[in-house]
Chains A and B, each alone.
Chain A
């Protein structure tokens, strides 16, 4: 695949490095000459000079034949405009933008950016997952189907402890896949399975019922 990255900061650099290792064709667009030089020294001549929001630069970069376009500068407006140009002018099928301000996520989606990654939210989510009482962890998102794979922890004091699964009012569409219990092999849940304290329940759920799945499994 041909992948264009706008912004050669830390995110752009390590992204390019990873993609090169997977044998993709990668081009970084970066304005700062010092950054450009250090990237070209370390990764080979993959960094070009220019402004990723300027049509001339994008033409020169061969944006028309790019399979993916990723904007990871530290500025939300730059990332938005670069991706919009790639999408509308050059018809790049897949555009990804990094977002700093979580409030901008809705706007970017509305304006047709395919995927947005909000660094602030990602960091917050990972830190809160480390809190032992944190009830739900998103393990994976299946974007095009709007499904999530989540882990729900049955923490001490949950009203669901000792109850069978059929007694819990699980939301329609959610499916429990496996229960991980200390000192045992993973259990494939059936309606008569009884929940224990400390159980980790792995489930597939539509994004909108994530919250009701959490409360059902914790017996609230």
Chain B
């Protein structure tokens, strides 16, 4: 099964890790604060490591060199951008996905070749549709 490294055990990160783990992926989640791992589901069987995703050593410990997917979902856009580019350009991870709240930054990094998602844009669109009925 595919190896996936997730950076940031936010609500999104924790939930995503639990979902992927339940489907049988080999998941490792990284966060600088061990307290954030409370967000993982009680059935989570993957790894949870305390470490900084913008530090190459921490990424290596998380198994970035064998990972097929890297996902950056910390609260900081710039941290996500830096870690994602590290995964892509230093560790050659085949698939790298990066959350960027700021829609403008998201667009720019998308054109620079990163796979980016802006929750801001997506959620605003959803709300608008809801209002439109």
B85 within 8 A of A: yes
**A111 in contact with B85 given A53-B78, A77-B54, A103-B55 (CB within 8 Å):** yes
B49 within 8 A of A: no
Query: Once the chains are docked, how many angstroms separate the CA of A209 from the CA of B55?
Result: 30
Q: In this complex, which of B55, B78, B81, B112 has the most chain A Cβ atoms within 10 angstroms of its Cβ?
A: B78
Task: Tell me how far the C-beta of B55 lies from the nearest C-beta in chain A, rounded to whole angstroms.
Answer: 7
Which of A55, A76, A103, A110 contacts B89 (CB under 8 A)? Answer: A110
**A77 in contact with B108 given A106-B90, A111-B89 (CB within 8 Å):** no
Query: Once the chains are docked, how many angstroms separate the CA of A84 from the CA of B105?
Result: 10
A184 within 8 A of B: no
**A77 in contact with B78 given A53-B105, A106-B90 (CB within 8 Å):** yes
By beta carbon, the residue of chain B nearest A101 is B55
**A76 in contact with B82 given A53-B77, A106-B90, A111-B89 (CB within 8 Å):** yes
Contacts of A89 in B (CB 8 A): 108
Interface string of B51-63 (1 = CB under 8 A from A): 0001111000000
- Contact at A77–B76, with CB atoms within 8 Å? yes
B102 within 8 A of A: yes
Which of A55, A78, A104 contacts B108 (CB under 8 A)? Answer: A55
- Contact at A85–B56, with CB atoms within 8 Å? no
Query: Once the chains are docked, how many angstroms separate the CA of A54 from the CA of B107?
Result: 12
Contacts of A107 in B (CB 8 A): 82, 85-86, 89-90
Query: Once the chains are docked, how many angstroms separate the CA of A135 from the CA of B12?
Result: 53
Q: Give the secondary structure class of A's interface.
A: helix
Question: How many A-B contacts at CB < 8 Å in the complex?
Answer: 52
Task: Tell me how far the C-beta of A36 lies from the nearest C-beta in chain B, rounded to whole angstroms.
Answer: 20
Contacts of B54 in A (CB 8 A): 76-77, 104
Contacts of A85 in B (CB 8 A): 105, 108
- Contact at B82–A77, with CB atoms within 8 Å? yes
By beta carbon, the residue of chain A nearest B56 is A103
B99 within 8 A of A: no
* Contacts A/B (CB < 8 Å), 22 sampled: A53-B77, A53-B78, A53-B105, A54-B105, A55-B108, A56-B104, A76-B82, A77-B54, A77-B76, A78-B78, A80-B81, A80-B82, A80-B85, A81-B77, A81-B105, A85-B105, A85-B108, A88-B112, A103-B56, A107-B82, A107-B89, A110-B89
With A53-B102, A80-B81, A81-B82 given, name 12 new contacts (CB 8 A): A77-B54, A77-B78, A78-B78, A81-B81, A85-B105, A88-B108, A88-B112, A89-B108, A103-B56, A104-B54, A107-B85, A107-B89
